Amino acid sequence: DVKVTQSSRYLVKRTGEKVFLECVQDMDHENMFWYRQDPGLGLRLIYFSYDVKMKEKGDIPEGYSVSREKKERFSLILESASTNQTSMYLCASSLPQGIAKNIQYFGAGTRLSVL
Amino acid sequence: RKEVEQDPGPFNVPEGATVAFNCTYSNSASQSFFWYRQDCRKEPKLLMSVYSSGNEDGRFTAQLNRASQYISLLIRDSKLSDSATYLCVVSQYGNKLVFGAGTILRVKS
């Protein structure tokens, strides 16, 4: 069974703080993704990575950065948290090719509140 | 305009009812299509893929109409456990998926 683990379920941070969201997967997947999910907007892709030390911008990368130093770990960084970054953050992973690349396995999510 | 549009619902149906959701997508170059299911306060999980020929998995039937750029999901004999948000998902180039905002289904006894 694929397991994607996000380090925190709930986080409360203050405006201007640097925030790290960690994600670890145990299935040796090459692809990893960070999304945010907001009511009425669905999941929006922030960043993704196809391999170690590789990253690509998604649809809404502004205000975020990522790090992938090891294959199993993909970190999302909010350099200076702002109130409009209050959201549910979901990490996902998948295999790189074929039909399997479309099956993304998600972590349980981190609900971040920025005050 | 959103790339993937869904009626947000909620659809409130009694147990045993048949319910159908539609979804439209704007990018004609979209390659693959899926329905994911998200239970309340849980992560999304793949429900089924959608093919032009249509496909069925038990009580669930998915259809794709490429000419009209819409996807449908039919649930027969609804169960209480079917209550969830159903996400229409489209894959484009590379490994990216585009998610609709979801349709809420509530099945009541």
Q: What's the rounded mean pLDDT across residues A94-98?
A: 79
Any chain A CB within 8 A of the CB of B20?
no
Average pLDDT, chain B: 93
d(C-alpha A50, C-alpha A30), whole Å: 6
Q: What's the rounded mean pLDDT across residues B13-39?
A: 94
Contact between A80 and A17 (Cβ < 8 Å):
yes
Contact between B86 and B78 (Cβ < 8 Å):
no
Cβ–Cβ gap A42/B99 under 8 Å: yes
Q: Is residue B17 predicted with pLDDT exceeding 70? A: yes
- Which of A43, A99, A107 shows the shortest C-beta gap to B99? A43
Count of A-B CB contacts under 8 Å: 46
For residue A4, what is the nearest residue in chain B, using CA coordinates? B43
Average pLDDT, chain A: 93
pLDDT tier for residue A64 given thresholds of 50, 70 and 90: very high
Any chain A CB within 8 A of the CB of B101?
yes
Looking at residue A63, its pLDDT comes to: 96
Cβ–Cβ gap A108/B42 under 8 Å: yes
CA angle A112, A114, B4 (to 5 degrees): 55
Looking at residue B2, its pLDDT comes to: 81
Of A18, A115, A33, whose CA–CA distance to A74 is shortest? A33
Looking at residue A99, its pLDDT comes to: 67
